[in-house]
Amino acid sequence: MIPPFHQGDFSMSLLVVGSVARDSIRTPYGEVQDALGGAAVYFSLAAGIFTEVRMVGVVGDDFEAGDIELLRSKGVDLAGLEVVEGGVTFRWSGEYSEDMNSRRTLSVELNVFEHFRPVLPRGYRDSSFVFLANAAPGTQLSVLEQVEEPVCVMADTMDLWIGSARDELLELLGRIDGISLNDAEALELTGCRNLIDAGCAILDMGPANVVVKKGEHGAVLFTEAGVVALPAYPTGKVIDPTGAGDSFAGALMGSLSQAGAVDEEHLKTAIAYGSVVASFTCEGFGTDRLAVLGADEVGERFMNYCDSLQIRR
pLDDT for res 313: 58
pLDDT for res 86: 97
Is 3.90.1070.10 the CATH classification of the domain at 12-307?
Answer: no
CA gyration radius, the chain? 18
This prediction's pTM: 0.95
Q: Tell me the domain boundaries of the chain.
A: 12-307
Dihedral sign for Cα 5, 7, 13, 19, please: positive
Find the mean pLDDT for residues 225-238.
93
Q: Would you say how long the chain is, in residues? A: 313
Predicted confidence (pLDDT) per residue in 20-78, tens digit? 999 999 999 999 999 999 999 999 999 999 999 999 999 999 999 999 999 999 999 99
Predicted confidence (pLDDT) per residue in 107-128, tens digit? 999 999 999 999 999 999 999 9
Confidence of residue 84 (pLDDT cuts 50, 70, 90): very high
Confidence of residue 237 (pLDDT cuts 50, 70, 90): confident
pLDDT for residue 11 is more than 80: no
Find the mean pLDDT for residues 263-280.
96
